[in-house]
Amino acid sequence: MTDARLPGAFSEFEPYASTWCLATEAERYKQRLASTMDEMQTFYDAFFPRGEEAIAYCEKFPLDELPEDAEQLLYLIYSLVMVSFPVEAWRQPNVPDSGAAYLDLLIEPRP
C-alpha cells in the first residue's frame, strides 16, 4: 500500500485514517459532531483494544521528532479520546444539555 498513513503494525486501522487522523482538536470535534454513534462506536470498538499498544508505540520516539506515521497514529489516539465521552457516557455525539454552547480551542500543543 503506497498511501498507508499508519505504522505497519497498525495497518488494520487504515480504513479509519482518512476520517480520524486529524491534527487539530477543532477538526476532531467537528468530525465527532458530523458522525453517527454507529460510526464512532465502530471506530472505538476496533481501536480501543489496541489503544495501549498504540500509546506505547508512539512513546518510543521523542515527541518533537515523531516519524510521520507515528504522528498519524497519535492523532488517531487523540480521536479515540475525542469519541470516548459519546461512546462511554452519553450515547450521543454532543455534550448533554450543551445546546448551542461552543468553546473553541484556539491554541494547542503540536503534535
Partner 1 sequence: MKPIAKPAEGSWTAHYPEISREPMSYEDSINPEVYELEREAIFKRSWLNVGRVEQLPRNGSYFTKEIAIANTSVVIVRDLEGEVRAFYNICRHRGNKLVWTDFPKEEVGGNARAFTCKYHGWKYNLDGACTFVQQEEEFFDFDKADYSLVSVHCEVWAGFIFVNLADEPSQSLIDFLGPMVTALEGYPFDQQTERFFYRATVGSNWKIFMDAFQEFYHAPVLHAKQSPVASLPEVQAAGFEALHYEIDGPHRMVTTTGGQGWRMPTEYLKPTETLTRSGLFGPWDAPDLGVDPLPGVNPGKAKNWGLDSFQIFPNFVILIWERGWYLTYHYWPTAYNKHVFEGNLYFVPPKNARERVAQEMAAVTFKEFALQDGNTLEATQIMLESRVVTAFPLNDQEILCRHLHKVTADWIADYQRETAGVSK
Residue 60 C-beta: closest distance to partner 1, Å: 8
Q: State which residue, 38 or 104, has the beta carbon closest to partner 1.
A: 104
Residue 12 C-beta: closest distance to partner 1, Å: 18
Binding site for partner 1 (CB under 8 A): 25, 48, 51-52, 55-56, 58-59, 61-63, 66, 70, 74, 77-78, 80-82, 84-85, 88-90, 95-109, 111
Measured at the CA of 41, the angle between CA 60 and CA 74, to 5 degrees, comes to 20
Q: State which residue, 2 or 110, has the beta carbon closest to partner 1.
A: 110
Mapping DSSP to helix (H, G, I), strand (E, B) and coil, where does residue 48 land?
helix
Residue entry with cell 489496541: 50
Residue 3 C-beta: closest distance to partner 1, Å: 24
From residue 19, alpha-carbon distances to 22, 30, 104 in Å are: 8, 11, 21
